[in-house]
Amino acid sequence: MMTTIDKAGRVVVPKAMRAALGLVDGGAVEIDLDDGRIVIAPAPVPKRIVTRNGRPVVVADGRMPPLTTEMVREVLESIRR
């Protein structure tokens, strides 16, 4: 997908991509260089482990994008390959 960079160095991430990644206005992202490419990814949400009903549970300290059936299906399929 093609986009442009403005004079301030900003790049518009297309709406469909933002929605697919759960990126929201003002949300944090990580940006890295990888073999001559710019990689932009949602910043990880801090998490902690708490005990509920005697079992450890991971709890996010921030907002998480919704987990969809399609996302779970993709992960399961990638593990099975």
pTM over 0.85, yes/no: no
Average pLDDT in the 4-25 region? 88
Average pLDDT in the 37-66 region? 90
Whether pLDDT at 6 is above 90: yes
Are the C-beta atoms of 27 and 18 separated by less than 8 Å?
Answer: no
Whether pLDDT at 81 is above 80: no
Here the tokens at position 43 are 């910043």
User: Under 8 Å CB-to-CB from 50, ≥6 apart: which residues?
Assistant: 56, 57, 59
Instruction: State how far the Cα of 39 lies from the Cα of 23, in Å rounded to an integer.
Output: 15
Instruction: State how far the Cα of 40 lies from the Cα of 32, in Å rounded to an integer.
Output: 7
Residues belonging to the chain: 81
Per-residue pLDDT, 66: 79
Q: Residues of the chain with pLDDT > 70: what percent?
A: 100
Per-residue pLDDT, 22: 79
